Structures are given as structure tokens and as C-alpha cells.
């Protein structure tokens, strides 16, 4: 009897997750094009013309995390490429999940394939660390960095909201995702609260327009878990290269960011890179979605050389 009950509970949770995945992909379907490379397939959007800005999202996110108003504002003057990082959103990988330097190589290949020339890299959160890895490996492809609430320093103790990602076994991760993360995610989504937004409220449009519904797919959790664990092994080497960066670097942080401390990842970071600047604005971690026009105008200022 007990095994029967357990089996029914497991089946119910699997069905909830399957339904959540289908609903998520209806709410937030692919928006753009696909580029097939040796390491997998990248999903990206391409708007506007002129100097290219490449938008790279953070941990567990997708290209929709850059709000439509942000993209539209920039696309009026520039060519704006938003990318689902390898393994995130609708991008796929071949073989094991790549670490940040390998992801940077895949994005560099896309920049070359699209003949974008030296670009402005606008990376958010973990996408900021990826942008730093890319400029260190391929400075020829980068004109400048506009980093939004970027991960730039080693993290000692894992913040509570990320501890569930630190499951080393892929099998256990997928079981946990299917039976715990996704069903709970459905409830969290209904409550319209996500820690990454604090203290800002989660906009009602985030699940669909912002791609928030995709966060609770098992594959998203698996990829985010791989990212969270692998970054600890590569961030030290990225940090060691800061002194050699010879491109303009600017950082934007929300004063009330509860995910990455502005004093450490912003103000301390800019002392490690020659000429780098840090700007603080009101808001939390999700500036590209909650404060899209402030973020877009700041990126314009970075390109114009007036980020201060």
C-alpha cells in the first residue's frame, strides 16, 4: 500500500511537471533564429542595424530576460543580438554542459558567423562573467563591456537561494527537478515572487514576456546547476585576467541587489580593471527586465563613452 501511494505521488508530480513544461513553452516559445555550431545550437534574436550589442543573460535565465522595451530602445540605433546561453532557453549543447570559457567560445563563433565585428557585450549576472571570459579570450571581437549586475568575484558560501543547484549527480538533479523544483516552481510562479527580483516586485508579464515560465523546466534546472557548480572552478582564472583587459568596461548595479553585492562585484571590481566605471541606480538584481529603459540608456551612454 505504501509503495502504491508513493508511486501515485511520484506520478502526480511528474504529470504536474509535464504540464508545466508544456504551458511554459506555450507562454514563451522561441522568438528568433538558430545557429548550428560544433558545440550545439544557439537560439538568438536579431533586431536593428548598426553597431552590434550582444545581450547575454544570467543563471537559469534566457534571452527574454532583456525586456522588449530595452531591446526596442537600443534597436532604434543599434543592431541588438540577444542570445540564449548554451543549454539555456532554447539553446542546446552537444555532450557535457560547457563551462564559461567554452560557452564564450560558442558565442564567439556566433559573433564571427554573423560578421558582427567588434561588439558591445552587455552581460547580466552570470552573463557578465561570461562576457569577461570572452573578452579575455577573444579581445578582437569586443569593442567594450557593459556589465549589468555582473558576477565578478569568487563566492565563498553559497547563498541559500542557490544551494539546491549544488547537486553533483546529474541523475539526482533531474529527479529533484522533476519531483520537487518544477512542482514548487508552479506554486512560486502563482505567488509572483522570485528572490532574484527583490526588492522589486515581479512584473505580471514576466512568466510569458520575460520567459520566467521557462525557469522551472527540468532542463533549465539541470543547466543552471551545471553552471553554478562549474563557475567555481573557472572564475579564478577569469579574475586573474582582469589586469590584462584593455577594452572599456562599465558596470551597472542596483543599490538593493540581493543576489550579488554591488560593493564587491561592482565597486571593488572596477578597481581591478584599468579605467573601469561603476554606476549605481535604484533597484534590485533584475534591472534589464524591471528597469529596461534605465538600463538601455545606460548602455547607450557606455557606447558613447559617457557612462559616469
Burial class (CB in 10 A: 0-12, 13-18, 19+), 9: exposed
Task: Compute the radius of gyration of the chain from its Cα atoms.
Answer: 19
Q: Nearest Cα to 85, choosing from 113, 115, 54?
A: 54
pLDDT attached to residue 182: 80
Q: Tell me, what DSSP letter sits at residue 203?
A: P
Q: Nearest Cα to 124, choosing from 63, 79, 77?
A: 63
Taking only the tens place, the pLDDT of each residue in 240-267 is: 999 999 999 999 999 999 999 999 999 9
Give the pTM: 0.93
Which range has the worst mean pLDDT, 118-127, 149-158, 232-241? 149-158
Cell of 267: 565597486
14 has a pLDDT exceeding 90: no
Q: Predicted confidence band at 179 (pLDDT cuts at 50, 70, 90)? A: confident
Burial class (CB in 10 A: 0-12, 13-18, 19+), 116: middle
Cell of 211: 520567459
Cell of 234: 573557472
Which range has the worst mean pLDDT, 182-191, 233-242, 294-303? 182-191
CB-side exposure of 281: number of CA atoms within 13 Å? 23
Q: What are phi and psi of 204, to 5 degrees?
A: -60, -25
Taking only the tens place, the pLDDT of each residue in 295-305 is: 999 999 999 98
How far apart CA 213 and CA 224 sit, in angstroms, is: 15
Q: What is the mean pLDDT of residues 96-103?
A: 96
Q: What is the mean pLDDT of residues 223-242?
A: 95
Alpha-carbon dihedral angle through residues 100, 247, 81, 57, given to the nearest 10 degrees: 40
**Distance between alpha carbon 215 and the CA centroid of its chain, in Å?**
11
Percent of the chain with pLDDT over 90: 73
If one counts every other C-beta atom within 10 angstroms of the C-beta of residue 298, the result is 22
2-304, what's its fold?
Answer: Rossmann fold (3.40.50)
Which range has the worst mean pLDDT, 92-96, 135-139, 293-297? 92-96
Concatenating the DSSP letter of every residue in 104-171 gives: HHHHHHHHHHTT--SEEEEEBTHHHHHHHHHHHH-GGGEEEEEEES---S--SSPPGGGGGG----HH
Amino acid at each position: 500500500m505504501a509503495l502504491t501511494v508513493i508511486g501515485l505521488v511520484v506520478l502526480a508530480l511528474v504529470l504536474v511537471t509535464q504540464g508545466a513544461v508544456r504551458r511554459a513553452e506555450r507562454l514563451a516559445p522561441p522568438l528568433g533564429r538558430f545557429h548550428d555550431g560544433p558545440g550545439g545550437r544557439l537560439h538568438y534574436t536579431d533586431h536593428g542595424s548598426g553597431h552590434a550589442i550582444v545581450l547575454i543573460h544570467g543563471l537559469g535565465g534566457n534571452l527574454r530576460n532583456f525586456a522588449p522595451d530595452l531591446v526596442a530602445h537600443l534597436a532604434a540605433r543599434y543592431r541588438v543580438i540577444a542570445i540564449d546561453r548554451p543549454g539555456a532557453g532554447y539553446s542546446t549543447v552537444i555532450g557535457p554542459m560547457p563551462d564559461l570559457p567554452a560557452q564564450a567560445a560558442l558565442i564567439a563563433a556566433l559573433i564571427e558567423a554573423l560578421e558582427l565585428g567588434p561588439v558591445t557585450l552587455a552581460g547580466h549576472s552570470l552573463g557578465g562573467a561570461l562576457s569577461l571570459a570572452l573578452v579575455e579570450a577573444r579581445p578582437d571581437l569586443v569593442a567594450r563591456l557593459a556589465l549589468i549586475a555582473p558576477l565578478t568575484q569568487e563566492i565563498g558560501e553559497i547563498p541559500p537561494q542557490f544551494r539546491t543547484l549544488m547537486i553533483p549527480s546529474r541523475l539526482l538533479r533531474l529527479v529533484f527537478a522533476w519531483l520537487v523544483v518544477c512542482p514548487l516552481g508552479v506554486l512560486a510562479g502563482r505567488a509572483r515572487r522570485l528572490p532574484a527580483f527583490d526588492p522589486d516586485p515581479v512584473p505580471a508579464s514576466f512568466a510569458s514576456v520575460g520567459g520566467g515560465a521557462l525557469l522551472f523546466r527540468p532542463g533549465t534546472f539541470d543547466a543552471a546547476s551545471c553552471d553554478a557548480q562549474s563557475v567555481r572552478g573557472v572564475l579564478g582564472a577569469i579574475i586573474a585576467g582582469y589586469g590584462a583587459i584593455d577594452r572599456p568596461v562599465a558596470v551597472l548595479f542596483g543599490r538593493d541587489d540581493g543576489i550579488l553585492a554591488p560593493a564587491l562585484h561592482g565597486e571593488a571590481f572596477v578597481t581591478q580593471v584599468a579605467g573601469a566605471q561603476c554606476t549605481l541606480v535604484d533597484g534590485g538584481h533584475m534591472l534589464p527586465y524591471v528597469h529596461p529603459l534605465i538600463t538601455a540608456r545606460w548602455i547607450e551612454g557606455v557606447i558613447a563613452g559617457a557612462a559616469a
